[in-house]
Structure 1
Amino acid sequence: MTQATQHPLVKVPEVTLLFWIIKIAATTLGETGGDAVSMSMNLGYLVGTAIFAVIFGVAVVAQIRAKAFNPLLYWTTIIATTTVGTTLADFADRSLGIGYAGGSSLLLALLLLSLFVWHRVMGSVSVSSIHSPKAEAFYWVTIMFSQTLGTALGDWMADTAGLGYTGAAMVFGGLLVLIVAAYYWTRISRTALFWMAFILTRPLGAVVGDFLDKPLNAGGLALSRYAASGSLLVFIVTCVLLFRQKPARAAH
């Protein structure tokens, strides 16, 4: 029996504290980077979505065809999902007039449908089961829906619900704390908790990103979108290069 047969290939990282730190930074970068292209460059949401969709497609194909876990490639793909999620959600909410509530509801339904179909076809949605091209495809489609939902949900809470960026960040941060508590003190499915946390880190990143670059009179810090995006990118690359990440353990 070959080593590959004994240990199925998993090309996604082990879920650790470092994973969540980079994930939140990546989702924040998705917000500032997406806004930089669609707003600061005045390309609009549709053109921005088209640009990031191409990058997302190329990154996913490269990730699926990769022969081993590559942290830089993995996080490049995550950033691609979060930038296309930002511009796509803004296009649907603002340009198509669906609104934050309608967009969030639609995307939540698509996300739950993706998880349901994935589980029916593959038998599991656990990270440890992602060791085939089909499972990877489901994984990245699900992530793309979750990233898009996060943008709409973050904007809904900050704007429509009137919580502001700091208030919305506290709500999403508090929900993440509850998930951490559930992880340590309950027997709730670890896979369910993972996806809950994964989904919630996106709106947290969205409102933090908006807090960084929105005008002072809108409750933001009015930082340059380019500077914020560049700083976040440097932070992510530094974390990936300095701290070793292992691939998740495959389920047998």
Structure 2
Amino acid sequence: MTEQERDVLSKVPAVTLGFWIIKILATTLGETAGDTVTMTMKLGYLAGTAIFMTVLALLVWRQIAARRFHPFLYWATIVASTTAGTALADFATRSLGIGYTGGSLLLLACVLASLAAWRWTTGSISSDAISTPRAEAFYWLTITFSQTLGTALGDWTADTGGLGYVGAALVFGALLAVVAGLYFWTRVNRVLLFWAAFILTRPLGATVGDFLDKPVDHGGLAFSRPLASAVLAAVIIVLILVLPQRAGRHPGEAA
């Protein structure tokens, strides 16, 4: 298999610093865009969840059907997953009445169950081992659960934990720094660190998004949700165009 053929088969991006920058911005956009539909437009959490899950399902289908890596398609699917996660987490923790703690525990169980089923079915949960539609389906399912979990964790830390949006953002930023330190200075399993970082970027983005659009008397800046979402989307598009976007390493590359 040639290098060109391997890149065609790999449909997820290489995990670089640029990947994490865009990921954090995408999760922040997911929070402001989700709140725009469910709160500003007053459609509610159930309707918002239905809308975003439909969009996510269509994008995941398109991503799996694609024959090569498309940066805009990939990141649109990420944004859809984090937006759906915002609405789904709010529906679970508020409309179902299980609270942030119950919602976080439930969603953590979903993430772990998805990873376990993925590992049992395909033999690997590495983002470098996504070479079949089944592995891709598990990849996006796990991502959606992790985005939803991250939303609940962010709300739990900021509200129930009493840290506020800025305090919660600092906590998750510090935890991400710890994960980065483990990556650079230890031999801790890289797959484990990837998923830990992937989950932690979501509550970081959620708390930053809440800080931007929540009322001043709730600890936010009261920015317009639609405007904040538009600015974040524009920044993400620019970064996708400016930062190197290449397909990640395909498992066949090792051979």
Query: Scaled by the length of structure 1, what TM-score is found?
Result: 0.97
User: What is the distance in 2 between the residues matched to 1:218 and 1:240?
Assistant: 33
3-state secondary structure, aligned to 1:67: coil
Residue 247 of structure 2 is matched in structure 1 by: 247
Query: How far apart are residue 29 of structure 1 and its match?
Result: 0.3
Residue 159 of structure 1 is matched in structure 2 by: 159
Is contact 1:8-1:250 (8 Å) kept?
no
Query: Structure 1's 7 and 147: CA in aligned 2 closer, same or farther, altered over 3 A?
Result: closer
Query: How far apart are residue 242 of structure 1 and its match?
Result: 2.0
User: What is the distance in 1 between the residues matched to 2:21 and 2:213?
Assistant: 20
Residue 115 of structure 1 is matched in structure 2 by: 115
User: What is the distance in 2 between the residues matched to 1:79 and 1:7?
Assistant: 23
Counterpart residue type for residue 132 of structure 1: T
Identity, in percent, stands at 61
Query: Structure 1's 175 and 3: CA in aligned 2 closer, same or farther, altered over 3 A?
Result: closer
3-state secondary structure, aligned to 1:69: coil
Query: How far apart are residue 3 of structure 1 and its match?
Result: 7.1
Residue 148 of structure 2 is matched in structure 1 by: 148
Residue 84 of structure 1 is matched in structure 2 by: 84
3-state secondary structure, aligned to 2:105: helix
Residue 207 of structure 2 is matched in structure 1 by: 207
Query: Structure 1's 170 and 47: CA in aligned 2 closer, same or farther, altered over 3 A?
Result: same
3-state secondary structure, aligned to 2:12: coil
Residue 16 of structure 2 is matched in structure 1 by: 16
Counterpart residue type for residue 195 of structure 1: W
Query: Structure 1's 115 and 165: CA in aligned 2 closer, same or farther, altered over 3 A?
Result: same
User: What is the distance in 2 between the residues matched to 1:47 and 1:142?
Assistant: 22
| Structure 2 residue runs without a partner (length 5+) | none
Deviations 1:6-30 (A, max 9, x none): 6671100000000000000000000
Counterpart residue type for residue 190 of structure 1: R
User: What is the distance in 2 between the residues matched to 1:236 and 1:68?
Assistant: 21
Query: How far apart are residue 246 of structure 1 and its match?
Result: 0.7
Counterpart residue type for residue 17 of structure 2: L
Residue 68 of structure 2 is matched in structure 1 by: 68
Residue 179 of structure 1 is matched in structure 2 by: 179
Query: Structure 1's 174 and 3: CA in aligned 2 closer, same or farther, altered over 3 A?
Result: closer
Query: How far apart are residue 5 of structure 1 and its match?
Result: 7.0
Are 1:125 and 2:125 matched, yes or no? Answer: yes
Query: Scaled by the length of structure 2, what TM-score is found?
Result: 0.96
Is contact 1:8-1:131 (8 Å) kept?
no
Query: How far apart are residue 35 of structure 1 and its match?
Result: 0.1
Deviations 1:15-63 (A, max 9, x none): 0000000000000000000000000001000011111011001000000
User: What is the distance in 2 between the residues matched to 1:26 and 1:92?
Assistant: 22
3-state secondary structure, aligned to 2:251: coil
Is contact 1:13-1:246 (8 Å) kept?
yes
Dislocated runs of 4+, deviation >3 Å:
1-8
